[in-house]
């Protein structure tokens, strides 16, 4: 059993990597609240307004229903090793997320750490944020100068919570620790309702961590998905007002999503990595990025 608070003793970083924290608040405005950072892991192929809207719904929920204070939010695009239909290269996906974040509120950022290396499990990704924010940056401080540790929390749609009770990646141990226990027990999550997905039933089997699972109702139903956006693009239909204009412009300028072969399967054709991708995909398919 690992004695480290993290599932790994050290973290690998992509070449020339620097953790983005330019929009991370360094001051906790209310010393009576717990500082948190929201992390959304996903393919973001492409990033949509619903992905961004999730952060706003979480912000409203946190302000009205919890003793948390959000000091930052991150989009963490998955690695190219996550084999999924319609998945563009990490370079394009990170660029689109960056454009979307720049158009958003002042607290949203994109961390390319997960995208530009081998497949990383969600539990390890959360550990990475915990390490960078609390160990490297030293957490956050109150107006009086008191240092506080920041709690990292996963932000996801309710379709993901339904997969957490299924046998597979979530229940596999890493260094003697079950990832589900690590994610929900150590960090916790905010789950945003997705159209057509029941939240209560999905959380029944996760009752032991109920205090760390925050369910957010979607008051204005929005079923925009990356899958539907890709279908529109392949059919030559407009996707404006489904995505930020800067992302639509980027897609048009780079001729993305014109056909189903425009993915990492064609842009990264190194045959030596084929078996490695297949192994990673088999392990990760149920982890619902």
pLDDT in tens, the chain (289 residues): 445 789 888 899 999 999 999 999 999 999 999 999 999 999 999 999 999 999 999 999 999 999 999 999 999 999 998 877 668 999 999 999 999 999 877 899 999 999 999 989 899 999 999 999 999 999 999 999 999 999 999 999 887 777 776 767 687 777 777 888 899 999 999 999 876 556 666 566 677 888 999 999 888 888 899 999 999 999 999 999 999 999 999 999 999 998 765 444 434 433 333 323 333 334 443 344 4
Query: What structural domains and CATH numbers belong to the chain?
Result: 27-223 (3.40.50.620)
Q: What is the pLDDT of residue 106?
A: 85
pTM listed for this prediction:
0.86
Residue 195: per-residue pLDDT: 66
| pLDDT confidence of residue 198 | 60
Q: Quote the pLDDT of residue 167.
A: 66
Q: How is the chain classified by DSSP, letter by letter? A: ---SSSSSSS----TT-----TTS--EES-TTSEEEEEEEEE--TT--HHHHHHHHHHHHHHHHH-SEEEEEEEEEEPPTTS--TT---HHHHHHHHHHHHHTS-TTEEE--TTTTSS---HHHHHHHHHIIIIIIS--EEETT--EEPPEEEEEEEHHHHTTTTSSSGGGSEETTEEHHHIIIIII-EEEE--TT--HHHHHHTTGGGGGGEEEE--SS-----HHHHHHHHHTT---BTTB-HHHHHHHHHHTTTSSTT-SHHHH---GGGHHHHHHHHHHHGGG--
């Amino acid at each position: 059993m690992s004695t480290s608070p993290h599932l790994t003793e050290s973290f690998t970083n992509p070449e020339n990597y620097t953790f983005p924290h330019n929009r991370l608040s360094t001051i906790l405005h209310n010393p009576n609240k717990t500082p948190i950072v929201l992390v959304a892991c996903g393919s973001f192929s492409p990033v949509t307004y619903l992905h961004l809207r999730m952060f706003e719904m979480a912000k409203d929920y946190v302000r009205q229903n919890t003793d948390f204070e959000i000091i930052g939010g991150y989009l963490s695009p998955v690695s190219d090793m996550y084999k999924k239909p319609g998945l563009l290269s990490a370079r394009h996906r990170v660029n689109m997320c960056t454009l979307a974040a720049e158009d958003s509120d002042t607290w949203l950022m994109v961390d390319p750490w997960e995208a530009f290396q081998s497949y990383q499990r969600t539990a390890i990704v959360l550990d990475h944020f915990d390490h960078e924010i609390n160990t490297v940056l030293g957490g956050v401080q109150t107006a009086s100068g008191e240092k506080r540790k920041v709690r990292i929390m996963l932000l996801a749609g309710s379709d993901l919570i339904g997969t957490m009770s299924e046998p597979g990646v979530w229940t596999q141990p890493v260094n003697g620790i079950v990832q589900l226990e690590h994610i929900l027990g150590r960090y916790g999550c905010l789950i945003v309702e997705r159209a057509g997905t029941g939240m209560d039933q999905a959380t029944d089997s996760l009752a032991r961590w109920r205090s760390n699972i925050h369910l957010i109702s979607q008051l204005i139903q929005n079923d925009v998905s990356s899958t539907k956006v890709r279908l529109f693009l392949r059919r030559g239909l407009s996707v404006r007002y489904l995505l930020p204009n800067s992302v639509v412009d980027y897609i048009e300028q780079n001729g993305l999503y014109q056909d189903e072969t425009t993915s990492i399967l064609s842009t990264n054709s190194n045959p030596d990595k084929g078996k490695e991708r297949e192994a990673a995909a088999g392990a990760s398919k149920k982890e619902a990025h």
